[in-house]
């Protein structure tokens, strides 16, 4: 019995070490888009090389990134932005695109999420992405590619494509994570099960890369790890050929990290796309070496977020915007 337990412990330790080792050895990972721009390739390579060695910091929204500078003396390396108002029917906002170009030209990295207000909208347009405020059934649109509903989906994607195209012309690579938190089903794109969600994600991917020929994108899929019991993450995973990063929103324990690494058998970088608190520098590099992390530090709802941010940004191994170095090869 003791021998059996000893063997089991060694087996678990070996598997854990293997998963962590695989997650920290990504120099050979190539962008899922075979036609990725030199800038996108350079960004992926940079994050691969930093993983396990440094903390690549991030903050959502430009005013809040400036607040990070005010509180810590350093700008985050990554700026998180949103395409929520990029569609024409929601205003055709271009400000975030301008900010992204400026941020990148100053040496930083940008990532975009998309709180996609559904084509049918909602009484409150600001909540048009929440399933509880929106009866939208996108599976009907996907089932009939000749329908007006399907055309409306394409129109929205095309509007976002226009903004990404502006960034492409300025040689700006972006990390894009459409259909985030789908497993939770609080957004409309998660309400019709994993197969429909994956079909929609692949439509976004193919529309941007094949139809619009946009290749300045690294693709992130937001997964809930098995430890969170929100359905089998493997059932929701779009496939290695459509994903560069598997990212987590607020699930940042060691087991969460290991579950996400296991989801792709260590083939993809794992990052923390949204978090209330900056990770603890004393633990992250050794236990959960996220490729990067992005906080909501100014807006968050506990008394530790500011203190944790200050601690993380004071760590000498934390990468700020002025320290990012991308090596672009034509």
The active-site residue out of 181, 252, 306, 315 is 181
The active-site residue out of 39, 262, 274, 306 is 274
3-state secondary structure 219-267: EEEECCCHHHCCCCHHHHCCCHHHCCEEEEECCCCHHHHHHHHHHCCCC
For residue 330, indicate whether it is catalytic: no
Question: What CA–CA distances, in Å, run from 2 to 12, 201, 223?
Answer: 15, 49, 38
Q: What contacts 149, CB < 8 A, 6 or more positions away?
A: 119, 138, 140, 141
Q: From CA 205, how far away is CA 209, in angstroms rounded?
A: 6
Q: How many helices (H) and strands (E) does the chain have?
A: 11, 10
User: Which residues lie across from 246 on neighbouring strands?
Assistant: 221, 270
Counted residue by residue, the chain has a size of: 330
For residue 70, indicate whether it is catalytic: no
Q: From CA 34, how far away is CA 182, in angstroms rounded?
A: 26
Q: Which residues are catalytic?
A: 181, 274
């Amino acid at each position: 019995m003791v021998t059996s337990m000893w063997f089991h412990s060694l087996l678990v330790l070996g598997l854990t070490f293997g998963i962590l080792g695989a997650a920290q050895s990504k120099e050979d990972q190539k962008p899922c888009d075979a036609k990725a721009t030199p800038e996108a390739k350079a960004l992926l390579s940079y994050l691969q090389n930093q993983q396990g060695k440094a903390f690549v910091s991030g903050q959502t929204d430009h005013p809040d990134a400036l607040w990070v500078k005010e509180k810590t003396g350093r700008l985050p390396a990554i700026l998180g932005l949103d395409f929520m108002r990029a569609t024409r029917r929601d205003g055709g906002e271009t400000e975030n695109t301008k900010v992204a170009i400026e941020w990148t030209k100053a040496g930083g990295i940008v990532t975009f999420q998309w709180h996609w207000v559904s084509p049918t909208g909602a009484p409150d347009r600001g909540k048009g992405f929440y399933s509880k405020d929106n009866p939208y059934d996108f599976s009907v649109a996907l089932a009939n590619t000749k329908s007006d509903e399907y055309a409306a989906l394409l129109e929205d994607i095309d509007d976002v494509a226009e903004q990404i195209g502006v960034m492409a012309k300025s040689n700006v690579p972006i990390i894009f994570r459409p259909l985030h938190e789908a497993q939770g089903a609080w957004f409309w794109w998660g309400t019709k099960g994993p197969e429909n969600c994956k079909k929609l994600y692949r439509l976004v991917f193919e529309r941007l890369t094949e139809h619009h020929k946009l290749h300045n994108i690294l693709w992130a899929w937001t997964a809930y790890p098995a430890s969170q019991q929100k359905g089998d993450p493997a059932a929701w995973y779009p496939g290695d050929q459509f994903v560069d990063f598997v990212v987590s929103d607020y699930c940042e324990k060691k087991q969460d990290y290991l579950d996400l690494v296991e989801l792709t058998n260590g083939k993809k970088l794992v990052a923390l796309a949204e978090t209330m608190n900056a990770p603890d520098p004393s633990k992250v590099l050794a236990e959960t070496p996220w490729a990067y992390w992005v906080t909501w530090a100014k807006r968050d709802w506990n008394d530790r977020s500011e203190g944790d941010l200050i601690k993380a940004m004071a760590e000498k191994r934390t990468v700020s915007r002025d320290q990012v170095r991308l090596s672009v090869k034509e």
